[in-house]
Chain A
Amino acid sequence: DAGVIQSPRHEVTEMGQEVTLRCKPISGHDYLFWYRQTMMRGLELLIYFNNNVPIDDSGMPEDRFSAKMPNASFSTLKIQPSEPRDSAVYFCASSSTENTEAFFGQGTRLTVV
């Protein structure tokens, strides 16, 4: 397996634009997580899914953020409208019920100008 795959690796967008981040978890994993990493706040859990169903979205900062998982092999994190304070590295991770180890993607570095 190629691991968790995120796209794009880098995204630069203007304030007010919609941004969509994509993630393909490891095949067979039934948990998927979205994290945000900043210098100020460290690594924050935004939302996680189990079997494609959102379980805990208490970390999603505002209604501007939304996440979907239409099937077991794909998830998106959308920010609409984006703001400069959303600039961060966004990580997707996946794990399986049998093993709590979380496997991380390479991250998407988002810059909102």
Chain B
Amino acid sequence: GEDVEQSLFLSVREGDSSVINCTYTDSSSTYLYWYKQEPGAGLQLLTYIFSNMDMKQDQRLTVLLNKKDKHLSLRIADTQTGDSAIYFCAETKPGGYQKVTFGTGTKLQVIP
């Protein structure tokens, strides 16, 4: 299967950490991505991780990959109201690096 699944909605208070989860079914995935979509805009790449990595940190963002469980997470530290958006998990596969399969998206609401 090629499904990439995410929970639909997450609500957090400003200043707390947010954790957005994603599960995928294809163990041959090579790159895994997190994209952000703000209202009325297209998707924008936040960060990505190669499948041979377990963790990647980039300022307030931490990506964790558990290949055994096919689970990917995005942690946003000190969540701000500007982080309110829809977050998409995505993957590519060997030989099809350009064909990106997106998850259903998680809408993050940050409460002031």
Residues of A within 8 A of B (CB): 4, 31, 33, 35, 42-43, 45, 48, 50, 56, 91, 93, 95, 97, 100-107
Contacts and interface: CB of A to CB of B under 8 A. Distances in A.
Interface string B77-112: 000000000001000100001111111110000000
B17 interface: no
A4 B42 contact: yes
A101 B45 CA distance: 7
A55 to B, nearest CB: 8
29 contacts: A33-B100, A35-B102, A42-B102, A42-B103, A42-B104, A42-B105, A43-B88, A43-B105, A45-B100, A45-B101, A45-B102, A56-B99, A91-B42, A91-B43, A93-B42, A93-B43, A95-B98, A100-B48, A100-B92, A100-B98, A100-B100, A101-B45, A102-B43, A102-B100, A104-B42, A105-B42, A106-B41, A106-B42, A107-B42
Contacts of B45: 101-103
A88 B92 CA distance: 24
Contacts, number: 47
B99 A48 contact: yes
Contacts of B101: 45
By secondary structure, the A interface counts as strand
Given A91-B42, A104-B42, A104-B44, A31 B103 contact: no
A43 B92 contact: no
A78 to B, nearest CB: 21
Q: Give the most central of B45, B48, B92, B103: most A CB within 10 Å.
A: B45
Interface in B8-42: 31, 40-42
A106 B41 CA distance: 5
B43 to A, nearest CB: 5
